[in-house]
Structure 1
């Protein structure tokens, strides 16, 4: 893997992905293509079971690089939009859970990048903001609605307000709110806890979240049951159950 704008470190089955495009981790085409490459590879790596996503410096990501806004030329917008969607989809569709360690400002596309993660850990002085209406745009609504209540989602989109770490925790958007110096460690601790579980079961659980999000209760639960049936005959599930009974640490093989 060759990163130039994104750094990856792996230890004890946890990958820490750091956005590193000074000064504010703005998202341009090269950045998005590299992000897609990084997450596609991490999704397949056997030595990675959970991922932490954070930003270098004071900012998580200040959003799209305005120097690369698409023109009105034929075919430019469709290609641009396809790449933007893929840069978010690669995180949502990654086989491994992704914990956002929001260390600073997450604005516009940066806010969406945080919201496509599975779990949010935020610094007290960090904030999420969708500033599209300030510049005559209106993106990010559907992603905001996945995490915010109806009134708060509209408040955020219509006003372009900055939602602080404390507010995000109060709104149940973030699971953890800690001082900035602790945000990456807090996210890594959650990732390590996930990495200790049966890898195939975690992957099945994430798949269930993806598939059932927009399904009615009955169909969604039926899908979840199919995942449990598939897991029941795997070697790792048998190992997890044996280790529990024998009061020892399990050894998983990914099968």
Structure 2
């Protein structure tokens, strides 16, 4: 359990996340992920990073149980951890390819929205159920995946979209059967890693430099409203209903977190 880094091929670093059962990351997990991505990008031998996850889905956001138990300090930790992890992907010195399977929710959108390319399995779904979890955030990153009005509708309704739908919008590079996800992600990473390493780093810096949105500042702005919702008691009021269906039955074991 945790974050691991390997080198499956020359020039490629693979950063993998595993936090069973649903990859809802604790605060320490977000910081560990940030450190791993930054370290992989700093390695002069690395020309491309593949970000993936083990288990049932790519990412289910933050660990809401930890958030519930930790009080205001936990929210500050979550805000800082998510901000660092998302920024690490965006600011990684080399291109980052996200390999997404299953659910990609909340904080997962922050990761893939900041990646340079996304390869997804046919079962992958993407969404921000923040309003159902008493939080806000990662609209910055969802806006990098879909057009503006669709982003707003998805955000307000907490609905998800499929990998095929994102492929139609041009934000997912390829959609493949689950069994082919790793090989498809490595295929793209291999093509990128075949380029000159120094030139790739300059290209990444240049592309980030012309980005119309400062994603770090934009996301931190969103997080201010998450903290405001917490201070007003709105977050707790909504979050206390998390894990219950309309009959009041406890379903918390059936879902992960989502806050970004």
**CA deviation map 1:104-132 (0-9, x unaligned):** 11111112212111101111111111001
Corresponding residue of 1:239? none
Corresponding residue of 2:175? 177
Matched, 1:7 2:25: no
Give the drift of 1:76: 5.5
Residue ranges of structure 2 left out of the alignment (5+ in a row): 214-260
How many residues matched? 211
Aligned residues of 2:41 and 2:49 also touching (Cα < 8 A): no
| Structure with greater Cα Rg | 1
Matched, 1:58 2:89: no
Give the drift of 1:60: 0.4
SS at match of 1:112: helix
In 2: Cα distance, 1:61 partner to 1:100 partner: 11
Residue ranges of structure 1 left out of the alignment (5+ in a row): 216-255
Aligned residues of 2:28 and 2:81 also touching (Cα < 8 A): no
**CA deviation map 1:166-218 (0-9, x unaligned):** 11111222111111111121111111111110111111111111111128xxx
In 2: Cα distance, 1:25 partner to 1:67 partner: 13
In 1: Cα distance, 2:117 partner to 2:200 partner: 14
Computed over aligned residues only, the root mean square deviation of the Cα atoms, in angstroms, reads 1.7
In 2: Cα distance, 1:33 partner to 1:137 partner: 20
CA change 1:53–1:63 in 2 (3 A) is same
In 1: Cα distance, 2:194 partner to 2:27 partner: 35
TM-score norm. by structure 2 comes to 0.76
In 2: Cα distance, 1:160 partner to 1:213 partner: 27
Q: Residues 206-221 of structure 1: matches in 2 within 5 Å? A: 206-214=204-212
TM-score norm. by structure 1 comes to 0.78
In 2: Cα distance, 1:78 partner to 1:31 partner: 14
Aligned residues of 1:64 and 1:110 also touching (Cα < 8 A): no
Aligned residues of 2:60 and 2:107 also touching (Cα < 8 A): yes
In 2: Cα distance, 1:91 partner to 1:105 partner: 19
Aligned residues of 2:4 and 2:17 also touching (Cα < 8 A): yes
In 2: Cα distance, 1:148 partner to 1:164 partner: 12
SS at match of 2:58: strand
Matched, 1:202 2:200: yes
In 1: Cα distance, 2:31 partner to 2:139 partner: 23
Matched, 1:119 2:150: no
In 2: Cα distance, 1:40 partner to 1:204 partner: 16
The higher-RCO structure (CA 8 Å, 6+ apart) is 2
Corresponding residue of 1:101? 99
CA change 1:165–1:116 in 2 (3 A) is same
